[in-house]
Structure 1
Amino acid sequence: MQQVSWVERFAAYCIAHRKLVTTVILALTVMFGYFAAHVEIKTIFHDLLPKGHPFIEINDKYNERFGGPNIVSIMVEAEQGDIFQPKVLERIKQITDDLYLVPAINQFQVISLASRKIRSINSSTAGIETKPMMWPELPKDQAEIDLLREQVLASPLVYGRYVSPDLRSALVTADFIDRLIDYEKLYDGVTQIAEKYNGDGVRVRVVGEPLLTGWVVHYLPETFKLFVITIAIMAVLLFVTVRTWRGILLPMLAGVVSAVWALGIASLFKVNFDPLIIVVAFLVTARAISHAVQMLAAFDDELERGYALPSVSTLGGVEPGVLDQRLDRGYLPKQAAARALVALFRPGMLGVVVDAVAVAIVAAMPMPLLQKTAFVGAVWLGTIAVSAMVLVPTLLSWVTRPHAVAFPIDTNRWVLRPLLNLCGTLVLGRRSVVVVLIGLVVLLVSGFYATKVTVGDALPGTPLLWPDHPYNVDAKAINDTFQGSDQMFVVLEGEGPNALKDPEVLTNVDNFQRYLETQPQIGGTVSVVDLIGPVNANLHEGNRRFEELGPVADINGELLFMYMQGTDPGDMDRFVDADFKDGAVTMFFRDHKGDTIRTAVSRIEEYLEKNPLPGESTYRLAGGLVGVLAAVNEEVFARQVESIALALLTLFVLSAIAYRSTVAGLFYMPLVIMSNTITFAFMAWKGIGMNINTLPVAALGIGLGVDYAFYIVDGVKERFEETGDVMASIQGSLRTAGRGVLITGGTMIAAVLVWYASSLKFQAEMGLLMALWLTVSAITSLLLIPAMIYVFRPAFVFGDGTHHAAAQPATA
């Protein structure tokens, strides 16, 4: 008597108790649905930052004083003439005043020509006087406007930094408190200010990281619309190719059940859903649909082949050989469903586990966003084991007209079968060696170009939006006009109070700034040193030759005291603390490309190592947006190879366990590596950087490159056990599992291309990446894997005695 495996017993139980199984799954779906409805869709800034990185620690400690990564820059540009006209100056003041009302604003970090922090330095018989240039009142007449122009031209802290060299533009900067930010409110508040004062001869441009996040939130309705359109296209294509209503409804149901369970569990664990990982959500949903389609293909195949389970007597009391004659070919759908579940259990579960573990590995990254993404993604993928591998075959057992079709055109006959026959022709005989060699060449070439992928942003502006988007247009205009809108600060931690009055320390800082300003990546710098020179020059009747540091600490202290006369609390915060112990050198960058940041940080670290501060004083890197991005890029670079290696190791171990063969673990490696090298080469070609947003998609690519192959290999293995014919087994697997690959691959490739219409460039590029990954995976699964099976005859597929079997002619 043939031994019944536990998988067969499990399948028999699910079908025999299908009402109970279905009821339990749907009841859990309703429960999780309640919690899923309450999942938070929002971005939390600190989720983007790597925990424990020294740059992040410095940023968190000093950002509210020296300027954090959430700075918004607003450029006010005169379309005719310069800014020194009443209309333009009034706009600058109105914008500055309105910014104080935006939620989460750091009121000590609003800086513009109309703020009290922008001051002029004047000398008289009474001494040195510093007072705001254009606060609290605007110039009253042309004489006062002319005086304002002279003051701007005389101040190196203003001219070139807050007023452009051509005098046609002025800059307003505002920092926001990280922990208080609501990106939607911030976006609405700042954009309303820009729109309110734009026009009538004045152009207002706005950039800044929090505003960028607000743009992503702004496009959420469009994102959901694209998601719905994509699902609709998938449904139509499934209907055309599968030609049955179950071919649409069951895969979609599997996707919905998985999504509801995952979001419900995320809500239960208080995990927010970041808008930027919606692409990952779609990709995981697509995996659920893919597994369900494979189950449908296996079900149809079982109906055609007419096999029955050894444990068929448990299926509702039906004895072997006693079949329902009312059904076409006399085969029970309950038996076909159970048999399909058994046939696909190993490849399906292996694919699900490999996918889930590959995504879970991303949790090794110290960024909370990636850890949350890994958690939600792994759970989501894990639910496929229930939605596609259990629920779908259970529902298939209720099919009453298994051979009925709803779409009249036989796409299988006219499209799918010819393509699969072509694949069968290419991978058998001598052609199989050619296919393997071509695969090897593609692997080597793509591997070479994959090394050129950039860690961090690869292009100027933001990769989240298109180059012609108003945000990127404004960013280019501001960076071309001023020293740069992206800031990084290096902290000077003195050994005690008044350390930053010491001439040795200040000379070191001055030399450091001069060095920085020779770097092409850095547009300009500012520090407490820039306050002392102008005061000293004013004491010498404005002679710029005396714009220098004092020879002793007491003189520097007196010069700083003179500057501070008339200043308000908080005015000095961006330069130095109240004890003159800690200060900052702030750098302005014109872009935050990965190469720009890496080069700048490397040169800064090299310089500081060779030119340390005297005594116990030290420099500490780094805060601000560029400092934060430098930390993120370092973590991505350090963990990228590690994550891919761990994912490949997981694939090896799980495959070896599933097939009880180390050869099986190695067999799938070329396919997965090729999928990734081709994709990374494409990223390098298109200028798509490897960053915190693209990394989860890259991790999912490990699973995308192997799911289809599991089904093809198991199909060959199963048929060889029945026929003993290698060629017939390969062709038979291509006709069934290969059909599922063609349907799901073609359907998803066509559907995800819809994302290219997104206003978010990131979503469009991720759509292209997914389409490329799916294309490579489908082609390699249909050509390279069968060719490798034919050429190498792996024992985990054929066992012993394959040589005489391979010589047998192929059967139809």
Structure 2
Amino acid sequence: MAIQTEQVDAMPVVSDPKNFDKNSGNLLERLVFNNRHWLIGICALITILLAFQLSKLVVNASFEKMIPQNHPYIKNYFENKKDLPAAGNNIRVVVENTEGDIFNTNFLETTRQINEELYLTPGVDRPWVKSIWMAGVRWTEVTEEGFRGGAVMPDSYDTPESLQKFNSNIRRAGIVGSLVGNNYKSIMIVLPLMDTNNETGKRLDYGAFSRDLEKIRTKYESASQGKIKIHIIGFAKLAGDLIDGLYLMMIYFAVAAVIAAVIIYTFTRCVRSTLLVIFCSLVAVVWQLGIIATLGYELDPYSVLVPFLIFAIGVSHGAQKMNGIMQDIGRGTHKTVAARYTFRRLFLAGATALMADAVGFGVLMLIDIPVIRDLALTASFGVAILIFTNLLLLPVFLSYTGVSPSAARRALNEDVVESRGRGLGSLWNFLDRFTERTWAIRVIVVSAILAVIGLVVSSQLKIGDLDAGAPELRPDSRYNRDNSFITNNYKLSSDQFVVIVKTPENGAGTYETLYEIDRLSNILRDVPGVQGTTALSDNIMQTVAGLAEGNPKWLAIPNNAMMLGGAVQWNLTDNPDVVDKACSIVPVVVYLTDHKAETLDRVVKVVEQFAAQHNVKERQFLMAAGSSGIDAVTNIVVKRANRTMLLYVYAAVTLLCFITFRNWRAVLVAVIPLMITSILCEALMVALGIGVKVATLPVIALGVGIGVDYALYLLSVQLDYQRAGLTLTAAYKRAVLFTGKVVALVGITLAAGVVTWAWSPIKFQADMGILLTFMFLWNMFGALIMIPALSHFLLNKPVADSETVNMSEVSFATEEEESSVEVQKECSNNY
């Protein structure tokens, strides 16, 4: 797999393809180019078939795919999910009266209609809907005769008396701050969701569900002429907003394609070859998406970014093939022969570089989060496809079309000019200085300082979300503005951490269990970041006190089976969300001030410690449910996977470099710039306020896997010149003279493919775009500057090799091409 030239001799100029031996080259070359029309026909057929499959492509997001399903805490949630309808995936809809309070007949009638439409929306788990309009939301009070109660909403609400009764019922029900706003200007409707659409039986389509909610919002806000506002939060709405953002990303994809085309054309000044490079890269994207659709996979807010990467990688590799063909045609070689020469020189290097890209994607498969594994799988499809579209199909196309003769002549003229130190040659000459001791020391010192500063700053890197609301979206998004309104006007936070208390049937109503639940609730209330808790034990105490004429002395859990039995039965009837029907599952709901990693860590540690001390066979305190409970587990998995992922990706890249270079010093020269870039990327995350989470976890792995391409191309050429007996300075000068453009082109093209993400309405996509752009560009500069500097200390002597070819023995087709420029050109073309 080593990327090297077995010979450094120049390939003869063949202007007439009849004089070329079609049976020359390896088996793959002969198979491809001796059957060019068949290859194009087969690829065209595959493209058409997979293009038709695009109609089956589904854009969706899944609540369950974004959580680590194999973690023990998440398994607890799935095992008890059916008994925890309010502790998982739900939607909160708040209807606000902008011109008064809720005690208005017209406003209440409007909310009743909204409640009915929401109740009938496909995907809603209707028995568990909670609002003032649901019969299950009741008030109770203690009288001399015992308990008295009823539904919060009276039979009528069109008279002052009925509205006054409604007001009284709200207070007696204790729902201010939960289902009614603190200022009595809004009401909340809580909609637990099912995994499937109850009308079609298919998995719930969050995009369609979100659009249904928007239709309801638009309908009633427009009809009220601004008198009411509807605020909606919950995972399904968030997922719907993300899906809407995906369609906008398609526009950015088109912009990225135009930018890439401009960059390639600026480099080549050849329209036909530029269009072919873009076309073959787009074919790779079509194949990738078609295969995804055929296999039944979906595009989600994470995997939708993969086509951008595949396109950018394809363009960068295509540009290298085009550059090789352009140089051969410029020397007079026929386009068909030039295509074969370029294939001969670049296929192995390209395939090895794509393997390095695959390493960055493949490592992500180790992360126990389905959405990340899907991203890795779809990316792996794309990388494999690039071998066909950009390493095989593109050279075949160019063998028919060739490149513009004027562009080929221009490329050769530029090379001559640059070899004399003019134009870009002045830049290449400047880079040569980094092989000198003084400049190399400066680079090493500056790099070391940057690495130390980066390590210090990156030590502050946080795990999880760092912002309030939904960090996946912009702070000024409609969703986050809705979340801010609800947080400011309701006592109970939307950040809920749920501890699952599991007992045998009817075990939840025993004194011992209720006492332990109350003990845990009291401990959690003292944890910083906890607003409050609710559990069955609280309801039992209220019920027992009510049975004792409201005497506060009875506000406790009695060790009396008869009293407890009556209180538990009362809650089974009136409060089914605090205990399941079998009286064996009790959710302890912890309301948090935020879902930052520090807050979640504190709660997790307290619950883990309590469970270790109080779990017995008859009673288990299990984590975790609720949005924040699932966030906490996700943070645990992300924190563990972050370092493990880096270890694996660097181990894989190091192994690949060792196989390629067969020299441990060269491996260090290639890997050290990547490590510094990784450190600086983490420091940049701290500076930008970006935490390590599901969205940003893949970035560093991708940056390392793709970034090593620069070293593979530049260092391989340098080492081959050194094997041929040249000094480090001479070897690097010749290598950078003819690969510097390619390295810069790859870096700029890759960055152009992802920089458009920065304008995405989805914040985590913007974060990924900024970080990847930084890594691609910084890796490029690291390769051009640090490789010569590190080589001065590690590779300063000629590299011994059994296959060393004396440069003086190199022969060329014509005397005119025996200049030193042509010698360098021919040697570098082997890559």
The two structures share one fold, judged by TM-score above 0.5: yes
- Deviation string for 1:248-305 (max 9, x for gaps)? 22321331232233233333433222233222321122111111112223334x43xx
2:785 maps to 783
* Contact 1:671 1:706 survives alignment (8 Å): no
Find the partner of 1:436 among 441, 444, 460.
444
2:135 maps to 116
Q: CA deviation at 1:468?
A: 0.7
Number of aligned positions between the proteins: 773
* Contact 2:536 2:586 survives alignment (8 Å): yes
Find the partner of 1:609 among 606, 609, 612.
612
1:308 maps to none
* Contact 1:69 1:209 survives alignment (8 Å): no
Residue 62 of structure 2 corresponds to residue 41 of structure 1: no
Q: Cα gap change, 1:424/1:795 in structure 2, threshold over 3 Å: closer, same or farther?
A: closer
Residue 163 of structure 2 corresponds to residue 145 of structure 1: yes
Residue 186 of structure 2 corresponds to residue 184 of structure 1: no
Find the partner of 1:201 among 184, 203, 227.
227
Return the letter of the residue paired with 2:481: V
Write the distance in 2 (CA, Å) between the matches of 1:590 and 1:599: 13
Return the letter of the residue paired with 2:216: I
Residue 567 of structure 2 corresponds to residue 559 of structure 1: yes
1:649-664 map, 5 Å: 649-664=651-666
Q: Cα gap change, 1:330/1:390 in structure 2, threshold over 3 Å: closer, same or farther?
A: same
Write the distance in 1 (CA, Å) between the matches of 2:402 and 2:309: 32
2:187 maps to 170
SS at match of 2:133: coil
Q: CA deviation at 1:562?
A: 4.4
SS at match of 1:404: helix
2:713 maps to 711
Q: Cα gap change, 1:562/1:70 in structure 2, threshold over 3 Å: closer, same or farther?
A: closer
1:693 maps to 695
1:682 maps to 684
Q: Cα gap change, 1:719/1:298 in structure 2, threshold over 3 Å: closer, same or farther?
A: farther
SS at match of 1:105: coil
* Contact 2:714 2:739 survives alignment (8 Å): yes
SS at match of 2:317: helix
SS at match of 2:232: strand
2:300 maps to 274
Write the distance in 1 (CA, Å) between the matches of 2:25 and 2:469: 54
Return the letter of the residue paired with 1:588: Y
- Deviation string for 1:348-377 (max 9, x for gaps)? 222211211321221122332222222211
Residue 228 of structure 2 corresponds to residue 220 of structure 1: no
Find the partner of 1:455 among 463, 478, 487.
463
Write the distance in 2 (CA, Å) between the matches of 1:721 and 1:14: 31
SS at match of 2:58: coil
CA RMSD of aligned residues (A): 3.2
2:75 maps to 57
Write the distance in 2 (CA, Å) between the matches of 1:509 and 1:633: 26
Write the distance in 2 (CA, Å) between the matches of 1:562 and 1:617: 22
Return the letter of the residue paired with 2:312: A
Find the partner of 1:577 among 573, 576, 580.
580
Larger mean Cα displacement after TM superposition, 580-589 or 12-21? 12-21
Q: CA deviation at 1:438?
A: 2.0
Q: Cα gap change, 1:125/1:690 in structure 2, threshold over 3 Å: closer, same or farther?
A: same
Write the distance in 2 (CA, Å) between the matches of 1:595 and 1:281: 35
Q: CA deviation at 1:235?
A: 1.0
SS at match of 2:125: strand
Percentage of identical aligned residues: 23
* Contact 1:62 1:623 survives alignment (8 Å): no
SS at match of 2:475: coil
Return the letter of the residue paired with 2:134: S
* Contact 1:96 1:110 survives alignment (8 Å): no
Larger mean Cα displacement after TM superposition, 219-228 or 599-608? 599-608
Write the distance in 2 (CA, Å) between the matches of 1:247 and 1:734: 24
* Contact 1:279 1:766 survives alignment (8 Å): no
Write the distance in 1 (CA, Å) between the matches of 2:585 and 2:749: 60
Residue 631 of structure 2 corresponds to residue 622 of structure 1: no
Residue 113 of structure 2 corresponds to residue 94 of structure 1: yes
* Contact 1:651 1:665 survives alignment (8 Å): no
- Deviation string for 1:161-188 (max 9, x for gaps)? 2223333333221110124321122102
Q: Cα gap change, 1:400/1:702 in structure 2, threshold over 3 Å: closer, same or farther?
A: closer
Return the letter of the residue paired with 1:194: R
Q: Cα gap change, 1:40/1:184 in structure 2, threshold over 3 Å: closer, same or farther?
A: closer
Write the distance in 1 (CA, Å) between the matches of 2:754 and 2:582: 58
* Contact 2:758 2:765 survives alignment (8 Å): yes
1:75 maps to 94
SS at match of 2:176: coil
2:317 maps to 291
1:533 maps to 541
Q: Cα gap change, 1:434/1:15 in structure 2, threshold over 3 Å: closer, same or farther?
A: farther
SS at match of 1:174: strand
* Contact 2:61 2:300 survives alignment (8 Å): yes
Q: CA deviation at 1:22?
A: 3.7
1:316 maps to none
Return the letter of the residue paired with 1:185: A
Residue 489 of structure 2 corresponds to residue 481 of structure 1: yes
Return the letter of the residue paired with 2:262: V
Q: Cα gap change, 1:56/1:477 in structure 2, threshold over 3 Å: closer, same or farther?
A: same
* Contact 2:361 2:379 survives alignment (8 Å): yes
Q: CA deviation at 1:756?
A: 2.3
- Deviation string for 1:434-472 (max 9, x for gaps)? 223322332332233334332222222222211011111
1:424 maps to 432
Q: Cα gap change, 1:13/1:795 in structure 2, threshold over 3 Å: closer, same or farther?
A: farther
Return the letter of the residue paired with 1:190: L
Q: CA deviation at 1:792?
A: 1.9
* Contact 2:727 2:797 survives alignment (8 Å): no
Q: Cα gap change, 1:196/1:551 in structure 2, threshold over 3 Å: closer, same or farther?
A: farther
2:270 maps to 244
* Contact 1:660 1:796 survives alignment (8 Å): no
Write the distance in 2 (CA, Å) between the matches of 1:446 and 1:406: 44
1:147-162 map, 5 Å: 147-156=165-174, 158-162=175-179
Q: Cα gap change, 1:540/1:87 in structure 2, threshold over 3 Å: closer, same or farther?
A: farther
Return the letter of the residue paired with 1:161: S
Q: Cα gap change, 1:99/1:797 in structure 2, threshold over 3 Å: closer, same or farther?
A: farther
Find the partner of 1:261 among 287, 291, 309.
287
Return the letter of the residue paired with 1:430: T
Instruction: For structure 1, list consecutive stretches of 5 or more residues without a partner in the other structure.
Output: 304-326
- Deviation string for 1:530-586 (max 9, x for gaps)? 32233333334444454333331220222334456xx5xxx5331112232221112
Residue 590 of structure 2 corresponds to residue 587 of structure 1: yes
Q: TM-score, normalised by structure 1?
A: 0.87
Instruction: For structure 2, list consecutive stretches of 5 or more residues without a partner in the other structure.
Output: 1-5, 10-23, 198-203, 808-818, 822-831
Return the letter of the residue paired with 1:467: P
1:357-506 map, 5 Å: 357-400=359-402, 403-405=405-407, 416-482=424-490, 483-497=492-506, 499-506=507-514
SS at match of 1:76: strand
1:233 maps to 259
- Deviation string for 1:763-797 (max 9, x for gaps)? 22222112111111111111111222233217796
Larger mean Cα displacement after TM superposition, 53-62 or 792-801? 792-801
1:727-738 map, 5 Å: 727-738=729-740
Q: Cα gap change, 1:563/1:700 in structure 2, threshold over 3 Å: closer, same or farther?
A: closer
Write the distance in 2 (CA, Å) between the matches of 1:262 and 1:616: 52
Q: CA deviation at 1:245?
A: 1.7
Q: TM-score, normalised by structure 2?
A: 0.86
